[in-house]
Amino acid sequence: MTGPILSLRGVSKSFPQGGLLDRLLGRDSRLVALEAVSLDVVRGDVVGIVGESGSGKSTLAGLAVGLARPTSGEVLLDGQSMAELMRDHAGPWRRRVQMVFQDSSSALNPRKSVARCLSETLALRGVSSAQREHEIADLLTLVGLGPEIGPRLPHELSGGQRQRIGLARALAMKPEVLIADEPVSALDVSLQAQVINLLSRLTRELGLTLLFISHDLALVRTLCSRIVVMRKGTIVEQGPCLDVLGRPQHPYTQALIAAVPKGLAGRRTPLPVRAEAAPPETREDIHGAA
Ligand SMILES: Nc1ncnc2c1ncn2[C@@H]1O[C@H](COP(=O)(O)OP(=O)(O)OP(=O)(O)O)[C@@H](O)[C@H]1O
Ligand SMILES: [Mg+2]
């Protein structure tokens, strides 16, 4: 039996609230963004994280990817605590857990070409400069883009292409866990389907563990094997996606499902889109080296 790849054990995260004056007057208060959250993610799982705005989804993602430290509790990667893994430097953890953001342009340097950005990421992984050119071509192919994208700057890309580059950059690190925080919510529905399709295929082909944060329950139901429902910094319900969405136990989950326009079952989901049905310029049919 192998243990979970990612675990949160009683993790809380709070942020200081109020201005300097409040603090000077001793009116110090803290906003609790996560409260005693425990979660085990098994290798290869595709876990959807849902919940209203402000429920703590991105805070949880930030802790899992090592961008922030918990106020209390422990985050473990493959049984090793983050604190221990990061004692010397954050490198190893950061390599193994990668993140794709809602808008990749914020994560890309506007003055650096796609190729340069990918090259720098590959250098962090220790790939020799001679090898980088090949790997960049492979990564672009992997996310369904051609080599002509390499010299382009982020603003010269479409929204869908930028998300693919965000994904390519995350994959350049050869992560074990990928966290996608609303990766398609800035895209229109037809592009959403393509990027989700790509994410789904790569997760399978590369054997990734995926944490998929979304407000779209229908999308989560199509993509994910498990679901975690968050509210006010806690997990109110979790389990196999079809069970939780089919027979929600918690009133909050029931309310979330009831709030889906036209209902979960009736809503047209953008998935599945077969690769051959996608427009040719997306090149989803080209499979790169895994
Ligand atoms: N760096 C920060 N400093 C202060 N408060 C923060 C910080 N980051 C998050 N918060 C607060 O923590 C709570 C949880 O925020 P979080 O971003 O995790 O929610 P979310 O579930 O991702 O919401 P959304 O669906 O809108 O993205 C919110 O009340 C937010 O205002
Ligand atoms: Mg968020």
Residues 50-84: tens digit of each pLDDT = 999 999 999 999 999 988 999 999 999 999 998 88
Distance 58 CA to ligand 2 centre (A): 4
Residue ID of nearest Cα to ligand 1 atom 26? 53
> Residue 9 is which amino acid?
R
Q: For ligand 1, say whether the CB of 56 is within 6 Å of any of its atoms.
A: yes
Which residue, by CA, sits nearest to atom 3 of ligand 1? 15
Strand 46-51 and strand 226-231: pairing? Answer: parallel
Which ligand 1 atom minimizes the distance to the CA of 55? 21
Per-residue tokens: 50: 């849902």
pLDDT score recorded for residue 90: 64
Distance 131 CA to ligand 2 centre (A): 36
> Average pLDDT of 76-101?
84
pLDDT digits (tens, 9 = 90+) for 222-242: 999 999 999 999 999 999 999
Residue with CA closest to ligand 1 atom 16: 56
* Across 273-285, average pLDDT: 38
Domains and CATH numbers, the chain: 6-282 (3.40.50.300)
Query: For the segment 24-41, what is each residue's pLDDT rounded down to a tens digit?
Result: 887 778 899 999 999 999
**Ligand 1, from 15, 71, 231: best to mutate by most atoms within 8 Å of Cβ?**
15
Say how many Å lie between the CA of residue 47 and the centre of ligand 1: 20
Cis peptide before 175 (omega within 30 of 0): no
- β-pair partners for 228: 49, 238
CB 217 within 8 A of CB 260: yes
- Mutation test of ligand 1: which of 31, 101, 230 has the most ligand atoms closer than 8 Å to its C-beta? 31
Give CA–CA dist 188/151, Å, rounded. 25
